[in-house]
């Protein structure tokens, strides 16, 4: 699977799952990732529970359900690589544009980069190779 092609062409709903250092799990709706390379993706996120969990536990899972009939999509098994607070970089990747005042009120943004360790089909356990 070519991640860049997949996430450029597909529309759907994404869910990020993280857990804290005690294994308490949280899920949150997230947009399609920004593909950074063959096996690297990034998300713009605020300093909320998902981000806080990733400070304690670098592992996450991103489930993407493609639009359409039935259930198809992928599950990405992720490890956090790093994060940036560079405002120009984050602005260049931000898809949802708020007024500057509303954006400030929402809190600081982070660009969090992940390595994609494994991809499984949404249903079943079929592993999908990364191209």
- Asked whether residue 102 carries a pLDDT value surpassing 90, the answer given is no
User: pLDDT by residue (tens digit) across 86-100?
Assistant: 999 998 888 667 667
pLDDT at residue 48, as a whole number: 95
pLDDT of 64 over the 90 cut? yes
| Residue 31 phi, psi (nearest 5) | -70, 180
- Which pLDDT value is given to residue 28? 98
- pLDDT of the residue at 57: 98
Domains of the chain, start order: 3-121 (2.30.110.10)
Mean pLDDT of all residues in 119-131 = 95
CA angle 45, 110, 37 (to 5 degrees): 90
Rounded to the nearest angstrom, the gap between the alpha carbon of residue 22 and the centroid of all alpha carbons in its chain is 22
Q: How far apart are CA 12 and CA 5, in angstroms?
A: 14
DSSP, res 125: -
Q: 89, 87, 103: which is closest to 34 by C-alpha?
A: 89
Is residue 8 scored above 80 in pLDDT? yes
């Amino acid at each position: 699977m070519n991640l860049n092609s997949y996430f450029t062409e597909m529309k759907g709903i994404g869910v990020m799952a993280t857990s804290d250092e005690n294994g308490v799990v949280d899920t949150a709706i997230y947009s399609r990732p920004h593909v950074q390379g063959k096996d690297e993706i990034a998300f713009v996120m605020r300093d909320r529970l998902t981000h806080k969990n990733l400070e304690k536990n670098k592992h996450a899972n991103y489930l993407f359900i493609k639009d359409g009939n039935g259930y198809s999509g992928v599950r990405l098994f992720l490890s956090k690589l790093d994060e940036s607070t560079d405002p120009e970089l984050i602005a260049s990747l931000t898809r949802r544009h708020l007024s500057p005042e509303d954006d400030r009120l929402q809190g600081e943004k982070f660009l969090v980069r992940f390595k994609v360790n494994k991809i499984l089909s949404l249903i079943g356990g079929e592993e999908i190779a990364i191209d």
